[in-house]
Amino acid sequence: MIDVTNLRIFYICAIAMLLSAIVPFTSVYADENQQLQIEIRYTNGDRISTYQAEYVVYQDNEKTPFIEKELEINPDTLYLPQNHEYRVEVFVNGIFSEMKKIELNEQSEKLQINIPLSGGIKFNVFYEDGETPLEGSTIVIKSHNGQEQRRGVIDTQGDSMRYWLQSTNYESEHYTAEIYFEDFLLHTVSNIKIQQAMEQDLKITIPVPAVVEELLVFQLYDSELNKISKSDGIYSISLMDKNDVSIAESEISARGLVYFSNIPSGIYKVLVMKDGEHASLWDDIEIAIIGNQNEFELIQTPVSEPVSEPVSEPVSEPVSEGFFPTFVEPITYDSTSEEYYLTCNCVAFRLDDIQDYWLTDVQVELLDLFSEKEIPLTVGIIANDFGNDAKIVDAVKNQLADNRISIANHGLVHNPFTNYDKQEQNEMIVEANKKIHELLNVNPKIFIPPENKFNKDTKEVLIENGFTHLSAALFSDSPPFLLEQKSFYRFPQMAETGGYVPSQNRIVGVSADETFSDTMTGLNEHGLAVITLHPQEFAVFEGGQYVNEVNQEQIDELSSLIEKIQSQNISIIFLEDIQYNMFKVTSENQV
């Protein structure tokens, strides 16, 4: 009789032998890790410093990085799945330095990557005469991806330190230098190349005079926008430098104006004085005197907070019908009306950086959210990067057809307009509007400057091309922001739903409470508030990059923000309608 137990053992052994013949032995261990040591040296044999160095590892033919890592020790050791090809790319100072491939099989490997030597660069920075040093200004050097690499102060000779940075050995690699007066951007120089193992000096001439010889005119207003005249008292203005030293002081003239001339270019704190004493009803503001603006308006801070409901007489207010009115009558004022100051008690949302093939699902989610909540949204389109991605283009067209959004020109490309002269700015504005019109059949009248950076030329070009609104940010656009009877309005960002974190080199979402607090500050101080959104802060961040996936936690913060605003009876309107929603606050309806 056959032993059943032995027969079963025989069958099991036979099957095991058959499987071992069919299944390759190596596949059992295909996912085991193997050691890879990476050492990075310069072409002269010296090991590189770990400072501002990183490397990216790709597996096989994948385009998504397998590992992104800052270089913390050199050589560095990784443990990677064996039986794959790996491509290692090295970056120093944000600049691509070199790439090398290696097959990692069943034994440990050592990969040495030799990168080009660094180069030295010193900047010589002068005013527009090319001779007067821009002493005390700040220079910021960035790699082409916008990451800050070095920062320094220009000395009495107009010189910076000599900075040693990774050389640029590929066409797409370059540096950018930004020149600042304190936090005020003066000038940007792009496409700076650095040669390996060489020293170079780069002279930069800033389009700013050393001394502003033109007449500077200041007009004072009280809180009800009545002009201050000499009959109201002995008013004067003092210009204070960063050390709170008065550089110049001038009294109000018979015409009710305060004049200055021959003022050295710089950032000044403006103090309004009455009878020789500081007039605290005017906030101390900082202005840039650099020759691009010669007229300034200073408005007294209102004593009382604005009320949430407008008075009905003698102000004629807009009437909304349906979702959004197609036309709004501007407010008018009766000649017998009481003294007042203005507020709109309103908020406008602005979504920047709409473009093709970039966080498309996130962009569409934001458009849908505002549509579902019936909230107006002003959308800034980068014209040269929009039109080929059917998903985002169709989403914008659908929302536009339903009057859910308005369109703003956010530049032809996303480069600061301060990089270009007036003619180039004009060409870019016209071309961007042309592209947007061809796609969406609208002619934008709102301009959102890329990176919120603009200058006097930008404003002139916008006005010449029939634009009615400029929306930048408080760091680049100084108050006052006049709210009525203008053909061109400046309504800057007062709050945002995300902020740039230098240590992470990315935009990170902030809480609804933080954005709401900044919004209320804008309303109380300026009578309006514009809130800026970027797709990045609503996207998931993984592996050192944004992925096309909605960050639901941040979407919930946005919904909470909208609810907070609505709970305070604050209107949410289109940006271009802010001036139509102004109402006066008088002694009868002040809180």
For the chain, the average pLDDT equals: 84
Tokens found for residue 42: 């310069």
What band does 289 get if pLDDT is binned at 50, 70 and 90? very high
pLDDT tens column, 32-57: 888 999 999 999 999 998 888 999 99
pLDDT tens column, 548-582: 999 999 999 999 999 999 999 999 999 998 888 77
Q: Is the pLDDT of residue 23 over 80?
A: no
The share of the chain scoring above pLDDT 90, in percent, equals 60
Can you give the pLDDT at residue 256?
84
Q: Is the pLDDT of residue 314 over 70?
A: no
Q: Looking at residues 254-272, what average pLDDT do you find?
A: 91
Can you give the pLDDT at residue 588?
47
If DSSP codes are grouped into helix, strand and coil, which group holds residue 101? strand
Record the pTM.
0.48
Q: Are 255 and 215 in contact (CB under 8 A)?
A: no
Q: Are 123 and 165 in contact (CB under 8 A)?
A: no
Q: Is the pLDDT of residue 312 over 50?
A: no
What band does 3 get if pLDDT is binned at 50, 70 and 90? low
What band does 333 get if pLDDT is binned at 50, 70 and 90? very low
Q: Looking at residues 467-477, what average pLDDT do you find?
A: 88
Q: Is the pLDDT of residue 321 over 60?
A: no
Q: Which helix (H) or strand (E) holds 522?
A: helix 512-526
* Calpha distance 391→370 (Å, rounded): 17
Lowest mean pLDDT among 21-35, 132-146, 280-294, 569-583: 21-35
Q: Which helix (H) or strand (E) holds 58?
A: strand 53-59
Q: Is the pLDDT of residue 465 over 50?
A: yes
* Calpha distance 530→522 (Å, rounded): 8
CA atoms within 13 A on the CB side of 315: 24
What band does 301 get if pLDDT is binned at 50, 70 and 90? confident
Instruction: Say which residue, 29 or 228, is predicted with more confidence.
Output: 228
Q: Is the pLDDT of residue 277 over 70?
A: yes
* Calpha distance 295→396 (Å, rounded): 39
Q: Looking at residues 132-142, what average pLDDT do you find?
A: 95
Domains and CATH numbers, the chain: 31-115 (2.60.40.10), 118-205 (2.60.40.10), 211-299 (2.60.40.10), 341-585 (3.20.20.370)
Taken as a whole, the chain contains a residue count of 591
* Tally: H helices and E strands in the chain: 8, 39
* Calpha distance 442→379 (Å, rounded): 13
What is the full DSSP assignment across 105-159?
-SS-EEEEEEEPPEEEEEEEEE-TTSSSB-TT-EEEEEETTS-EEEEEE--TTSE
Lowest mean pLDDT among 59-63, 72-76, 485-489: 485-489
Q: Looking at residues 540-551, what average pLDDT do you find?
A: 87
Q: Are 293 and 456 in contact (CB under 8 A)?
A: yes
Q: List phi, psi (to 5°) of 509.
A: -65, 145
pLDDT tens column, 71-111: 989 999 999 999 999 999 999 999 999 999 999 998 889 99
What band does 259 get if pLDDT is binned at 50, 70 and 90? very high
pLDDT tens column, 408-420: 999 999 999 999 9
Q: Is the pLDDT of residue 310 over 70?
A: no
Chain centroid to CA 179: how far? 17
pLDDT tens column, 188-204: 999 999 999 999 999 99
Q: List phi, psi (to 5°) of 464.
A: -65, -25
Q: Which of 495, 542, 155, 525 is nearest to 347 (CA)?
A: 495
Please classify residue 61 by burial: count the beta carbons closer than 10 Å to its beta carbon, then call 0-12 exposed, 13-18 middle and 19+ buried.
Answer: exposed
Q: Is the pLDDT of residue 428 over 80?
A: yes
Say which residue the tokens 């099957």 belong to: 15
Instruction: Say which residue, 213 or 242, is predicted with more confidence.
Output: 213
Q: Are 478 and 440 in contact (CB under 8 A)?
A: no
Q: Is the pLDDT of residue 316 over 90?
A: no
